[in-house]
Structure 1
């Protein structure tokens, strides 16, 4: 083994095992592409994306960490979302999508 070498396992890694998923249809109504990162609170993404924001509250994309999904102008696609984990606080994002004060719920 060399420093920095990666030796992959024989089996594929399952992404977010055992997590409930929500599938949503998303359409980019804008004239520019929108890229959304793996851990961004999906309900709070660019307002130019049209989808069921209430269903997306408290969820993020079901993609590998550090990756993103690009939504091209005028294109509609389906995405899978998984619930946010940890203390489920997402400070610094759009204020209308923060936790309800004191409830711990989105």
Structure 2
């Protein structure tokens, strides 16, 4: 991943005296998930920072039922890329807010709530 910009759009400005920053540090253990994702397709696939994991490209093999209600635990606006045949363990966190996930795939109902 490229180094974050220090100025301009998308710049990351951090107080150098603040110490390390942990993403989603307020998440409880039940709001975290670790899973292995494998690209079984013949083209690279990326998963964006806020994509509901079960909606990811069907060429990605992983436990979609376990990933229901989760997204990748990566900085906002970034993504993870999976080359053909590649697999790796990723960390995920539960979606928050209204917990609404509009359907991105054909045949999936829009606006389904994840909490009931």
Larger RCO (CA within 8 A; separation ≥ 6): 1
Superposed CA RMSD in Å reads 2.4
Instruction: Give the structure with the higher percent helix.
Output: 1
Name stretches of at least 5 consecutive residues in structure 1 with no aligned partner: none
The answer to whether the 8 A contact 1:38-1:60 is kept is yes
Aligned to 1:14: 22
Paired with 1:6 and 1:47, the residues of 2 have a C-alpha distance of 33
Paired with 1:30 and 1:98, the residues of 2 have a C-alpha distance of 29
Tell me the number of residue pairs that the alignment of Structure 1 and Structure 2 aligns.
101
TM-score (norm 2): 0.76
**Within 5 Å, which residues of 2 pair with 1:1-106?**
7-9=13-15, 10=17, 11-19=19-27, 20-94=31-105, 95=108, 99=112, 104-105=114-115
1:97–1:23 Cα change, 3 Å:
farther
Name stretches of at least 5 consecutive residues in structure 2 with no aligned partner: 1-6
Structure 1 segments of 4 or more deviating over 2 A? 3-8, 96-100
